[in-house]
Amino acid sequence: MLSPNDEVTLRLDGKEVTSGRVDMLALNSGVLWLIQNEGKGRAMFHYDEGLLVFRVGQK
């Protein structure tokens, strides 16, 4: 389960789309707001987009 402030990488078809820190999650986990790395700003991603989310640095 993701939580706010988790560091994540988003991938699509095996390629990194973006990475950053989780800002907010919808209650149904269908929407993720991400503060993207490298100054790319805040962006919203939908579960329906087919992205896979990986936590960074988790054991």
Domains in the chain: boundaries: 7-55
Structural contact between residues 32 and 53, judged by C-beta atoms closer than 8 angstroms: yes
**Which backbone phi and psi does 28 adopt, to 5 degrees?**
-90, 5
CA dist 16 to 27, 28, 44, 56, Å? 25, 24, 16, 13
The reported pTM is 0.87
Q: For residue 37, what are the contacts with CB-CB under 8 A and spacing of at least 6?
A: 18, 19, 20
Structural contact between residues 36 and 18, judged by C-beta atoms closer than 8 angstroms: yes
pLDDT digits (tens, 9 = 90+) for 6-19: 999 999 999 999 99
pLDDT digits (tens, 9 = 90+) for 2-58: 999 999 999 999 999 999 999 999 988 789 999 999 999 999 999 899 999 999 986
Q: Would the pLDDT of 59 be above 80? A: no
